[in-house]
Structures are given as structure tokens and as C-alpha cells.
Amino acid sequence: MPNGFQGGCLCGAVRFESVADPKIVAHCHCVDCRKSSGTGHCTHIVIPDDAFSVSGEVTFYDRPADSGNIVSRGFCPTCGSAIYSKNSGMPSMVFPRASALDDPNVVTPSMVVYASRAPAWDHVDPALPSFPETPEGGPEKVIADHG
């Protein structure tokens, strides 16, 4: 029986809920995540799209990833908080940001990706499986392995 989780932006205009527990929780140290996060990395939750619901206006910024897939980063147009991302290569999944959770401790990070791009001052957890870039086979393979 999944417990799910809830979150939202800083101003409260955007709220989201997942009825599924996270499949994967990954720290990503890629440059795009650093620049959009306000710090050294993003922490992404991976869940099925059909378990996720969101209320309030979300603005998306689209940008291609290394893979050529388009990553759409959703944020609150009022307060700027990152809410969730989508990836054109994984249309059945969504990626809520752990930073937006009401209770950030409902998730436990399970891996580190793009560790090779982490700034020297950002902590890369040595206890987690760590990939220099994306895992071999792509995130879909990891989801299949962890699902």
C-alpha cells in the first residue's frame, strides 16, 4: 500500500500530490540542474505520470538534455519555486523536485547522476551508487531495475 506524498511551491499557488511512492530518488549534478536549482544539484523523485496530480499554474522551460530528449522544467510563475520536470524520452514518468515536498524526509535518495559535473564544493554522497553521467542504458533501465 503506497503512502504517496504531497508538496507545493513557496507561495502556495501550486500544490501537487502523488498517490505512488517514489520509484527512484536521484541527486543530479548536471549543469542544467545546478543552474536551475540555486545550488549544486537537484534532487528528483521519479514516479508514474498517472499517479501525479498538480493544481495551480505551472510554467515550463524546455531545454534539450545530453540525450537529445527535451527536459521541461516546471516552476511557479509567481514565486519561482521548482515543482517538477518532464522528459520527452520518458513520457509516462514525472519528476517532482524533492525541494518542493511538504515533508522532505518522506523520500530517501537512492543514486547520484552526473557526479562528474558536481562542483568541488557540493557533497556527493559516497554511500549512494554514483554515475559519472547517466547510468548505462539510460534512466529507463534504472527504473526497470528498481521498479
Kindly determine how many residues on this chain lie close enough to bind Zn ion according to the rule CB under 5 A: 9
* C-alpha torsion 129→97→90→13, nearest 10: 170
Question: Taking CB under 5 A as the criterion, which residues in 17-76 touch Zn ion?
Answer: 28, 30, 33, 76
Return d(Cα 66, Cα 52) in angstroms, integer. Answer: 26
Q: Using CB under 5 A, which of 79, 91, 119, 137 touches Zn ion? A: 79
Q: How many other CB atoms sit within 10 Å of the CB of residue 122? A: 14
Q: From the CB of 62, what's the least distance to Zn ion, in Å?
A: 14
Q: Using CB under 5 A, which of 6, 13, 70, 135 touches Zn ion? A: 13
**Which residue shows C-alpha cell 511557479?**
76
Q: From the CB of 2, what's the least distance to Zn ion, in Å?
A: 26
Return d(Cα 43, Cα 111) in angstroms, integer. Answer: 10
Q: Using CB under 5 A, which of 11, 62, 91, 146 touches Zn ion? A: 11
* Between 25 and 33, CB nearer to Zn ion: 33
User: Rounded to the nearest 5°, which phi and psi values hold at 91?
Assistant: -65, -15
Q: Confirm if 44 and 74 have CB atoms less than 8 A apart.
A: no
* Between 50 and 59, CB nearer to Zn ion: 59
Q: Which residues of this chain interact with Zn ion, rule CB under 5 A?
A: 9, 11, 13, 28, 30, 33, 76, 78-79
